Every structure is written in structure tokens, then in C-alpha cells.
Amino acid sequence: MKLSGRTAIVTGAASGIGKAIAELYAREGAKVIVSDINEEAINQVVEGIKEEGGQAAGIVADVSKDEEIDAMVKLAVDEFGSLDILVNNAGILDNFMTVGEVSDQVWNQVIAVNLTGPFKISRAAIKIMEGQENGGVIINNASIGGLFGSRGGAAYVSSKHGLIGLTKNIAATYGIHGKIRANVIAPGAVRTNISSSITAEASKMGQKALAGAGAAPLGESEQLAQAALFLASDDSSFVNGDVMVVDGGWTSV
Ligand code: NAD
């Protein structure tokens, strides 16, 4: 098992990519904090992990709320004694709104969940990881929208570009001479519940924005989880500050 004895926090772990990561990490021996805003779905994921013989604890934590971030990080240490892996996975879309259309409310919410949350959770986690003999690993789930302009609306694309910048800064300041590695997964199109937030109108806008990008191959959450396992394990011990594109080749054409 690749993650034996390690404690991992996975945010947005009640659905989609985060759920697949939490389940795979548990199968690989990690003790997993399953964190999300959807309590019922959290409980199902935790139960499923325990039924398979894994270790997990659930917590309702909105990544845009300071007290809930603190409680989540504290739970990892109180329940399992360390915090070795942080996966900032929770994220929301912005309905493909252009800069001329996006409201302050949508902009602020998308930045709060997709960028400020990961910053604050990383800050709290680093304080713990720095004091541990083996340091820790941070994995941020961005998007190919963090590398290109047309794979989301203005707020989403900005938040994911920012998340990649944050990751590289952590890698440079804590990883080169320290013991905390930070890397990004940049998924292409993955079959999850996130698309349920896209309205018909936004879908048309998305198609317009994506014109020329070609049809996206559709991946499964389990395929993304394998990338997150590589980046969490010692198999990637010299990988730091990387952006791993996992998009079935969509952005290679
Ligand atoms: P999903 O909607 O299936 O899962 C996201 C989870 O995050 C949900 O369980 C939701 O309850 C939770 N969440 C939402 N807001 C939250 C908050 N404020 N605090 C805590 N949890 C919150 O979506 P997914 O596709 O699995 O998305 C996971 C990540 O992958 C996101 O960051 C998303 O931007 C990224 N991503 C997804 C795709 C894709 O095609 N599915 C592509 C690129 C990037």
C-alpha cells in the first residue's frame, strides 16, 4: 500500500473526483478526512470506506468559512495524529459568464471556494506539516481552465490560474529546500456532478467559448484519482511545482 500510516484531508470528497480520491487513498492505507458541505453524501463515503476495511472520518466543512477550515484541520490531528496529505479539491463553476456578465456575488463566491479556501487550508496545513519529520504533500485540483482562457467563465478561469500560481509558490518556498511538496492536477472533462450547475444558456456560451477546441474526451473520476495517488505517494518524491494535465489529450490538439 502506497499511503500506509498517512493522514489525508480531501475537500469536496462527497462527490466526483474528490470521492474517488478519498476512496483510493483509503484503499492505499491512508486515514482519510472526508470533508464536504453535503452531510448525507459525506456519511455515505465514510461508511463505504469503513465497509471496505479502511479508516475515515467525515466533517461538514465549507472551504469558504474560516472556522470550518480550522475544525477540519484540527480533526485530522485529533483523530489520526498527523496531517500528511492535503487535497484541495472542492470547486465550483461559474456558468461560463464572461467578464462583462459576471456579478460581484458569483465572482466572490468562485474565488472564495476555488482559490481563497485552498490558500487558507494550505496555510493551516503547512503549520502542521513543517513540524512533522516527513513534512507533507499538497495537491491542488485546478483544471485545464487554469492553463487556457476558454475552458470556463472569467471567474473560474481566474480562480484556477490563481490556484496554479499558489501551488508553484508553495513548491518554490517550502519544497526546494524544505519537505513540503505541492503539485497541481489539471483535469479536462470528467463525468461528475459538477455539470449539473451549468444552465442551458451557459452551456451555449461554453460551446461558443470552446469552439475550435474540438470535442472533449470524457474521463472518469477514478482516472483522476490515480494521478492524485501518484502525487501523494513517494513515487513522486522529486515532483514538485508540477501541473499534471489529465485530460485524455484534449489540450494536445
Ligand atoms: P462535483 O460537483 O462532483 O464535486 C464537488 C464537491 O465539492 C461536491 O461534493 C460539493 O458538495 C463540494 N463543494 C462545493 N462547494 C464546496 C465548499 N464551499 N466547501 C466544501 N465543499 C464544497 O465536481 P467535480 O467535478 O468532482 O469537481 C472537483 C474539482 O475538480 C473541482 O475543483 C473542479 O473545478 C475540478 N475540475 C472538474 C472537472 C470536470 O470536468 N468534472 C474539470 C476540471 C476541473
Of 157, 54, 21, 39, which Cα lies nearest the Cα of 97? 157
234 vs 237: CA distance, rounded Å: 5
ipTM of the complex: 0.99
3-class DSSP assignment, residue 22: helix
Strands, sheet with 136-141, edge to edge from the N-terminal-most edge strand: 55-60, 31-36, 7-11, 85-88, 136-141, 180-187, 243-246
Grid coordinates given for 35: 470533508
**Distance between Cα 228 and ligand 1 center (Å):** 15
Query: Contact, 191 vs 163, CB < 8 A?
Result: no
37 pocket-lining for ligand 1 (C-beta < 6 Å): yes
Please state at what angle helix 221-232 crosses helix 16-27, rounded to 10 degrees.
50
Q: Which residue has the cell 494550505?
A: 122
**Distance between Cα 92 and ligand 1 center (Å):** 6
Ligand 1 atom at shortest distance from the alpha carbon of 91: 32
Residues 6+ apart with CB under 8 A from 57: 31, 32, 33, 34, 46, 75, 79, 80
Question: Which pLDDT tens digits describe the chain residue by residue (253 residues)?
Answer: 999 999 999 999 999 999 999 999 999 999 999 999 999 999 999 999 999 999 999 999 999 999 999 999 999 999 999 999 999 999 999 999 999 999 999 999 999 999 999 999 999 999 999 999 999 999 999 999 999 998 999 999 999 999 999 999 999 999 988 899 999 999 999 999 988 888 877 777 777 777 777 788 999 999 999 999 999 999 999 999 999 999 999 999 8
44 pocket-lining for ligand 1 (C-beta < 6 Å): no
**Candidate from 109, 192, 222, 223 with most ligand 1 atoms within 8 A of CB, to mutate:** 192
15 pocket-lining for ligand 1 (C-beta < 6 Å): yes
Query: Contact, 240 vs 183, CB < 8 A?
Result: yes
Ligand 1 atom at shortest distance from the alpha carbon of 63: 19
3-class DSSP assignment, residue 37: coil
183 pocket-lining for ligand 1 (C-beta < 6 Å): no
Ligand 1 atom at shortest distance from the alpha carbon of 193: 3
Cα–Cα distance list, 34 to 55, 57, 85, 136 (Å): 10, 6, 12, 18
Of 55, 4, 182, 171, which Cα lies nearest the Cα of 46? 55
213 vs 23: CA distance, rounded Å: 32
**Residues 244, 179, 13: CA angle, nearest 5 degrees:** 50
153 pocket-lining for ligand 1 (C-beta < 6 Å): no
**Distance between Cα 22 and ligand 1 center (Å):** 13
> Residue 59: phi, psi to the nearest 5?
-150, 135
| Domain 7-247 class in CATH | alpha beta
